[in-house]
Amino acid sequence: MKREILEDMEPVLLLIPGCPNSAIAKELYDTALRLEGIEHTVRVREISTEDEAALHDFHGSPSFNFNGADLFESDAEPAVACRVYGTPDGFAGQPTLDALRQAIRATRS
């Protein structure tokens, strides 16, 4: 697969302090980017106040942002809270690797 380094891309993982899915979510995001041929470091940003949640349109931890946009749309109000994702096995604390890869691909088409 062609590898690319794109200066304007910014993958950001938004988390609340103490999020039990932090390490898993970071590893998942790193893996998805690598498999999509994107060499870029995921920046981690903690969201700890309701004002920060509103400023970053944060819909719960973990949130996967790419180029300033949440990769998974949410109707929830911004809040300092945990987030769940629908998966084939039910709700989980992070999306599946395939879902994350598809979401990344969708931003690039």
Residue 81 inside a domain? The answer is yes
Q: What is the CATH number of the domain that holds 35?
A: 3.40.30
Q: What is the pLDDT of residue 13?
A: 97
Evaluate whether residue 3 is within a structural domain. Answer: no
Count: domains in the chain: 1
Look at residue 74 and tell me if it is in a domain.
Answer: yes
Query: For residues 22 and 27, what is the distance between their CA atoms, to the nearest angstrom?
Result: 9
The mean pLDDT of 21-47, rounded to a whole number, is 95
pTM, entire model: 0.89
Instruction: Provide the sign of the torsion angle of the four alpha carbons 48, 52, 56, 59, taken in this order.
Output: positive
Task: Note the pLDDT of residue 8.
Answer: 53
99 falls within a domain: yes
- Tell me, yes or no, whether 17 lies in a domain: yes
- Could you tell me how many helices (H) and strands (E) the chain has, helices first? 3, 6
Domain coverage including residue 47: 11-108
* In-domain check, residue 37: yes
**What would the pLDDT profile of 64-96 be if each residue is shown by its tens digit?**
999 889 999 999 999 999 999 999 999 999 999
